[in-house]
Amino acid sequence: MTNFELAKKYFLDGCVFLKAENFSQAEFHFKKSLELMPNRASTLTNLSATQLKLKKYSEAKAAAQKAISIEFGNSEAYLNLGLIEKEFNHYEAAATLFDKALSLQPDYAEAWSNKGNVLNELKRFEEALYHHDKALSLRPDYVEGWSNKGVTLHELKRFEEALKHYDKALNLRPDYVEGWSNKGVTLHELKRFEEALHHYDKALSLKSDYHDASWNKSLCLLLEGNYEKGFPLYERRWDSEKVSEGAGKRSFKKPVWLGVESLQGKTILIYGEQGFGDFIQFCRYVKLVADLGAKIILEVPEALAGLMRNLEGVWQLVIKGNEIPFFDYQCPLLSLPLAFKTTISSIPAGTPYLAANPNKISEWKQKLGDRVGRRIGLVWSSMSNFKVDSQRSLRLADFIEALPLEGAEYICLQKELKDGDKEFFKNYKNIKFFGDELKDFEDTAALIENVDLVISTCTSVPHLSAALGKETWILLSHVPDWRWLLDRGDSPWYPSVKLYRQKAIGDWSSVLQKIKLDLGVR
């Protein structure tokens, strides 16, 4: 067999392994082929695609770039480079590379669809739909294309249409794991929870290590209050590619403590993950860990450091980014409910478990001056990059419809305003705004202690307010975050909380009307 024939055999075997998703063997065979024919662009392109699947991004990039240096018009290599940029959330760069692929091959369905995916991430949903439609017009049997369009329709809250697109993908390929899981997510948003769980289970029956489905299933179970099954599955967040980065995945050599080993005389690092609200909600478990005989090192974001200095049970506070002292075990905050086998009836709900700085309370009291009525702290929007920010943000112009013009004094508890609210705020003088004077959560806590009531959407502030024991009203979307459960006006996590729920998707008007009535406005 000549070198050419042997190289071709390795190449074809590599393609077979790539199609079968045996990426390690595919990489081996493509590399063997390249040893015999190092400048074959098609082999380099396939090697790049394989290494992308293996998360060998620098090697995948090098292979694609070499393929392009040999064959400038290699549209597939440009696609691979775009996919690599997408993995690092470089969406604009990815879109440019997909455009390059399309300039070389205008009928390249995969490039159209993948550009649609990055436009989706950029929240340019109508453009994304156009690109998905173009891909499907070129390849009506493109399974991933149907599912990708379904994801964009989901983002546009066109849920019934999204379901039809997932069904089209699943009819074409009944074992399409991502399609089953994606459809489950949309069913979840429609409150069809049993169906959603069935779809997650179907995905897991096809691929037991498909951690995105496990994660999605955990959120559904937790929302339903099934903590016994939900919290163990919630640990899959560390394995989910879509979740682990945003969840604050960390790597420590010391073992994770999940309630099994004795902590008597041991030191344990407890650290935050996800958002500030999560930290505030679950730091209540620190005392329970300390009660087991452990010394607690609590790693905190700088914005929370002042607030957490006097948290009961903390042995040593470390600001995130600084050197961490020796410890025997470690545990992320949101794994503590599992470690303590938390159920709805066993939630450690005693409040207050946080306290504001008395000196700062006095400072803010002086800044606020004499009362002119009932003081109400307000939060109507989030400034985070939370993917479904629209579910916890209102326009100020809409929010004030719930607020009486007389008999109350309004204090903005937000540090920042969205661009859409700034112009309105200039002309609306009934809310005091302190902006950068709120330096950290210690200031926010002190300001909260100077109001009688907090009314807020689902951000970190109502967690803080409720942890302080302050009466807190929270506005929730039709399908809320799992911690707020379903169909109840109270929270087992916070005795001082009252929940106001949308009656239908996107229906803030009924929520605001109920708040208006409860504030005594007729």
Q: What is the pLDDT of residue 276?
A: 94
Percentage of the residues of the chain whose pLDDT score is greater than 70: 96
Report DSSP state, residue 322. Answer: S
Question: Does 358-518 match 267-346 at the fold level?
Answer: yes
Contact assessment for residue 149 and residue 164, using Cβ atoms and an 8 Å cutoff = no
- pLDDT of 520 strictly over 90: no
Q: What is the pLDDT of residue 246?
A: 56
In tens, the pLDDT along 74-132 reads 999 999 999 999 999 999 999 999 999 999 999 999 999 999 999 999 999 999 999 99
Instruction: Give, in degrees to the nearest 5, the angle at Cα 21 between 15 and 24.
Output: 80
For the chain, the average pLDDT equals: 93
pLDDT bin (cut points 50, 70, 90) of residue 491 is: very high
In tens, the pLDDT along 347-379 reads 999 999 999 999 999 999 999 998 888 999 999
Residues ≥6 apart with Cβ < 8 Å to 330? 252, 254, 255, 256, 257, 268, 269, 270, 271
pTM > 0.85: yes
The structural domains of the chain, with segments of one domain joined by +, span 3-238, 267-346, 358-518
If residue 14 lies in a helix (H) or strand (E), which one and from where to where?
helix 3-19
- pLDDT of 271 strictly over 70: yes
Answer with the residue of higher pLDDT: 388 or 138: 138
Compute CA 271 distance to the chain's CA centroid, rounded to the nearest angstrom.
18
CB-CB neighbours of 423 under 10 Å:
12
pLDDT bin (cut points 50, 70, 90) of residue 245 is: low
Q: What is the pLDDT of residue 26?
A: 93
Measured between alpha carbons, how far is 255 from 268 in angstroms, rounded to an integer? 10
Measured between alpha carbons, how far is 219 from 246 in angstroms, rounded to an integer? 15
If residue 497 lies in a helix (H) or strand (E), which one and from where to where?
strand 497-501
Burial (0-12, 13-18, 19+ Cβ within 10 Å), 397? middle
SS3 content of the chain, % helix, strand, coil (to 5): 55, 10, 35
pLDDT bin (cut points 50, 70, 90) of residue 404 is: confident
Give the DSSP per-residue string, 125-142: HHHHHHHHHHHHHH-TT-
- pLDDT of 522 strictly over 50: no
Which CATH fold topology does 358-518 show? Rossmann fold (3.40.50)
In tens, the pLDDT along 504-516 reads 998 999 999 999 9
Q: What is the pLDDT of residue 388?
A: 60
Does the 3-238 domain belong in CATH 1.25.40.10? yes
CB-CB neighbours of 429 under 10 Å:
7
| Stretch among 71-80, 294-303, 393-402 having the lowest mean pLDDT | 393-402
Q: What is the pLDDT of residue 3?
A: 78
| Stretch among 51-65, 173-187, 241-255, 297-311 having the lowest mean pLDDT | 241-255
SS (H, E, C) 192-251: CHHHHHHHHHHHHHHCCCCHHHHHHHHHHHHHCCCHHHHHHHHHHHHCCCCCCCCCCCCC
Residues ≥6 apart with Cβ < 8 Å to 13? 29
Q: What is the pLDDT of residue 429?
A: 78
- pLDDT of 298 strictly over 60: yes
SS (H, E, C) 49-100: HHHHHCCCHHHHHHHHHHHHHHCCCCHHHHHHHHHHHHHCCCHHHHHHHHHH
Which range of 163-167, 247-251, 252-256, 407-411 scores highest in mean pLDDT? It is: 163-167
| Stretch among 115-119, 189-193, 433-437 having the lowest mean pLDDT | 433-437
Which CATH code is given to the segment(s) 267-346?
Answer: 3.40.50
